[in-house]
Every structure is written in C-alpha cells, then in structure tokens.
Structure 1
Amino acid sequence: MSTPVLNASRRAVEQSGDSPTPPRHHAARAPIRFVAVLALSLIAIAVTATLGLMLGSHQVPAQVVWEAVTNYDAGNNQHLIVIQSRLPRTIVGLIAGGSLALSGAIMQSLTRNPLADPGILGVNAGASAAVVIAIAYLGVSTINGYIWFAFIGAAGASVLVYALGNAQRGAGGPARIALAGSAVTIAISAVTNMVLISNELTFSKFRYWTVGSLQGRDLDVSTTVLPFVLAGAVLALCLAPSLNALSLGEETARSLGSRTRSVRALAAVCVVLTAGAATAAVGPIGFAGLAAPHVVRKLVGPNHTYLLPASMCVGAAFLLLADVLGRIVVAPGEIQTGIAAAALGGPIFILLVRSRSFGAL
C-alpha cells in the first residue's frame, strides 16, 4: 500500500479520536523506555524473589539462601525450606504473574477497553469454577487433569461475556463489556461457592486456592503449566504487528491487509492459554492483568512489540511483590496472594475509573 494511503488512513483514525498512536517523539523513545522498563522489572524480580526465599514463618538469612541455591544440602533444614518450598512458589509466581499480565494486555487491545482483565471479565472465574466442579464431581485431583477444565472454563466465560457485552448492535462499549464481565463473574462465583459449601472435603482442600494463593505449589505445577504459557506467549508476540494494526480500528486494519477475524481468534486463544494456565496454577488472582499493562502502556506506549514482553515482566514483579507483602504484613502468618494483589491493584483500578481517558484505549 502506498505511503499517501497509509498517511490518509492514519489521519482519518486520528481525527475520529480512536487512535492510540502516540506522538512521534514518544514513539522514537519507545525502545529506550522499553529497555529501561525491562531492566527495572528484572531488578524488581530479583529483589522480590530473594525476599520471597528469605521471608516466611521461618526466616532464612540471605547467606543461607545463597548457599542453598549454589550448594544445596538435603540434610540442612533451612536448605530444604528454600529449595523444596519457597523456590517452587517463587517460580510459580513468576509464571502466573507474567501470564495474567500478558492476557490482560491482549484483552485490553482486543476490546479497546481499559478495564479488560482476566479477573474483571470473568475469565478467571470461569476457569476456577470449571476446576472446582472437576475436583468435586469428577474426582480430578492433579493439575495435569484439571488444567484442561481451566481452559474450557476460561473459554466459556470469555464467549459469554463477549456475547452479553455485544448483545445489541453497537453496544459493546468498554463500560458495557465491563458490566457484563462483572455480572458473569458474580454468577459463576456463586456457582463455585455453592459447590464448595455443599462439598466439605473440596472446600477444606481448596479454600485457599479459590482466593488465589502461591502457598503449597511445587515444581510439578510449574512444569505442567509452563508449556501452555510459552505457547500463548510466543503466539502473542507473533501477533504483535497485527494487534498494532487492529488497535487503529477494524476498517483501518483491514485496509492495511490484516485479517481481523483470524487475529481476534488467535489472540483469544492466547488469552485462554495464559489466563487458564495461570488460574489452574494459583487460583483466581485479580488486578495483575489490569495494573501491569496500564503501567507499561504509560511508559513505553501502545506498540505491542514492546507492550507485551514488558507487561509480562512487570506482571511477574507485581505478583511476587504482592506475595512478599502478604507475608510481611501479618508475619509470622501470611495473607493470601490474591488478597494482597487486590490491595495493590485496587487503587490503580480506582484511578483508572476516575480518569478522563477512561472511555476507550
């Protein structure tokens, strides 16, 4: 397509007020800001991961943590705590935080909705309900079994929210989709609670899982969900140029040669894979998928080539920070990670709703 046509398309979208294209000087600095965000995120991950290995009901000195990682001694109780309990927990937190942030960034781009998030739009609730039903009535007891139910539940909830939010022609605005997501989340959560309350054994076993927690996760959880997360992440990165075109608007994306239906379908697969795997691993944790993409978008802009990988790093750091704070606030006890993440992400949600630019991305 010729340059004049491209310029005309961009001008038309910008005049309509729907373009997320940043000023040229902001776009020129995007690679530099992207590197800076990655560096800061990796530093935050290193710090929070170290604290996560040190803190808990039994505190372990930093030197002992280093010795456990570099020269593990199975006969040392502190080494056992670090390697067998806290290290798997940290790895699961990294995977889940990055997955939720990636799915949130994709959902926000697809719906052009600043409130899009696996927790708010019912994806986590659907995955959680399907897992609880599988555990309670089908006898599924391992993550290798119920991860498939998490995918089914996540996909079903996504379709239901999209159908309700677009029930009337032209009605699928950000507020309507968010309301549909909230309604679906409440309804599905009611079903989940009903199953848990009516099944004492299931409730006793998974009462912490239903609010989102990293506690008690072992390496089997990470090895089970990681292939699905990697598949979703690779597919999402490959779709980054198409998502950039789609963010200019449906008609403009088509004029640029993008197959919008295929892009949306593949992006939805990414959301199901990443959000479903994260929920199967740690339960329904909200706000990680909402907060991280917004922070990154403010810093590096809407270019998905930078937005998606940076969101994963920030999301991983966010969830590890929530987990560490949950252990510090009520030490030697701990607050479940899902509750701590809500405490951190809630203020961002409030600021977002009150923002004048709330309407659409």
Structure 2
Amino acid sequence: MSLDWIYWAISWILLKWHSAWDALGVGTALGTSWDWILAIVFLVVTLRVVLFPVFVKQIKSQRAMQALQPQVKALQDKHKGDRETLQKEMMELYRKEKANPLMGCLPMFLQIPVFIGLFHVLRRLDPAKNPELYGWTSEQFSSAVKATLFTAPIPGKFGSSADELTRLGVNSGTTVKIIAGVLVLIMMVTTYLTSRQMILKTGWAEDPQQKMIQRLMLYGIPISLLVSGAIFPIGVIIYWVTNNLFTLGQQQWVLRKFPPPPMANTGSSRTGGSSTAASRRNGTATKSPVQPAKGGLLGRRKPAAETEPAKPVIDGKALAPKPGAKPANPKKGGGAKPPAGGAKPPTAKPPAKRQG
C-alpha cells in the first residue's frame, strides 16, 4: 500500500503554514529559522484540532473502563487461575457495557501515520534528492534544507554521518549532536509525563491487559526513544515534543473540567481510616457499607462501623429495695442482686439433691 497520500497531505499542511508565517515577516533570529519551526508546531495544532473529537471519545472510554473496575476485580477473584475463562468473561462484560479497552490508545495510533509522513518528508530534505516532489517548489525545498534550530539544521540527526552533514552545509557535527541530544531527552521526559499524568488521575487498571498497556506507555516507549531518537531528524523531534506539550495541556484541562469518578479500589484503603477519624471528630460520621456479622442472632447483618454497646454501669443505690418492701424471693424471681447499704439478703434453702 502506497503512503504517498500521507506525504502529500503532510507536505501541503507544512507548506501552507510556512507560507503564512513567511507572509507575516517571520524570519531567522538566534540561528533559528522560526518560519519553519512554527510551521512544524502548527502542524501539530492542526492535527490535534482534527483529532479532538477522538480525544473526547478516549476520555469517555476511560471513564467507562473506570466504572467497570469493581466488576473486573470481581471477575478476577472469581476466575483466579483460569486466565482463558477470565478473558472471555471480561470481553463479554466490555461488549455488554459498550466499553473498548483499546480506545485509550486510539489517538496515539491515529498520529502514527502523521509521524511517519513527517519523518519521510524531512528525511528527503537533502540537496542530492529531487526537490520537486509532493508539491514542493525548488525555492521551498532549498529554504527547508537550510532551516536551522540554533544553527543546527532541522533535517540533521544525532546520528548523521559526516557526508550527510557536509551536504547540509555543516562543518562540525558537535552542535547537531548537542541540540539533537537535548531534544531527545526532552522528548523522553515529556512522553513519560503525558502517560504519568493520566495514570495518576485515573489510577492503575485492574484488567491485566489494560495494566500492561499502561506500563508499556509509561516506561517502554520513553526508554525506546533513547535508541530510536538518534535516527530522528531534529524537525521530527520538535514535532514530537510539541505534541507532548499539547497533550499535557489538553489532558490537564479535561481532567480539571471532567474529573474522574472516585473509585473504591484507588486510595480508599489508604485514606479511609483518616477520613473516618476526622468525620468522628467533626460529628459527621457517615454510614459504612454493611458487612456480614461474624456471629449474631440468625446471621443478621449489622453495619461495620457500629461497635458493640458498652455494658451499663450498675447503680447499687437504684437497685436497693425501698423501705418496708419485702425482699425478693430467689426461688420465684431468681437472680436478684444483694441490696446495697449493708442490708442482709434473704437466705434461700439449698436445692435438694437428686436421687441416683
């Protein structure tokens, strides 16, 4: 399958933004071709605006997955050790509740073709290649080849060979390696922060498949960039960093405006004791979930927060007989406590011994 349509689309958006900034008089300053840098930045903005509805669906899917976490946990406990049955039950649960565990990765998957397209377009910014391709003119191609970020050419890479740097008009590759190396580190950090931000707000998934995806995005992708970043052109790294910063801001806005629902399995065990104690001090204790009693009459349930009633303090004076009243006969009433105040309790005959 040919990807030329992606290369044409990326080139068209990039050239349109460059023409716009060039028309506004944005030029070169501090060794940086700001018209081309801003063209790459606003390529990201264009993409994120187009994908915003998909991002909203991603948030809704994550909310649905959070709401299902208690049921997922119950299935895990029920089918512990039977992974095949567990997967079937969870797939049936997702189908019934119309939740898709892969929806959280959809925006990232949709951005992969854009990344591939930009990577291909910037890699061909070489004077030895055909300039008039994917709608570029010779003038635009020559301007992009000479575009720089702090004197480092944006088609250059950390792993560029001496011949490649010579064709780009660079005498020493030290500056290119420094700029590219710093950008790769920033790319790794921002990629980690985007995943960490979402996980801290929504919590770790109970579903093993979802949890594996979370770990891959949090640790696996940033570590892989340490190696793959060496072959990325500086312009591609600028795109990646800008996309991460945009994602951080977008996620922060969405999480503040639509906070995730509180989950029973995230943080409740750590904060439950302190919140209960605080509510008791403030006199605002709430009812706790009903738990089965270990004993009790007919196995009846009682609230977990209720404590056993304290034994009443016996007032001896209140139990003392009134003046003139006959003392209780232990045979009839049985179990009367001796009166206080030194009064002599009535004597009872010992019970007759049983024969045989």
TM-score by length of structure 1 reads 0.25
TM-score by length of structure 2 reads 0.26
Bigger helix fraction: 1
Higher RCO (C-alpha under 8 Å, 6+ residues apart): 1
Larger radius of gyration: 2
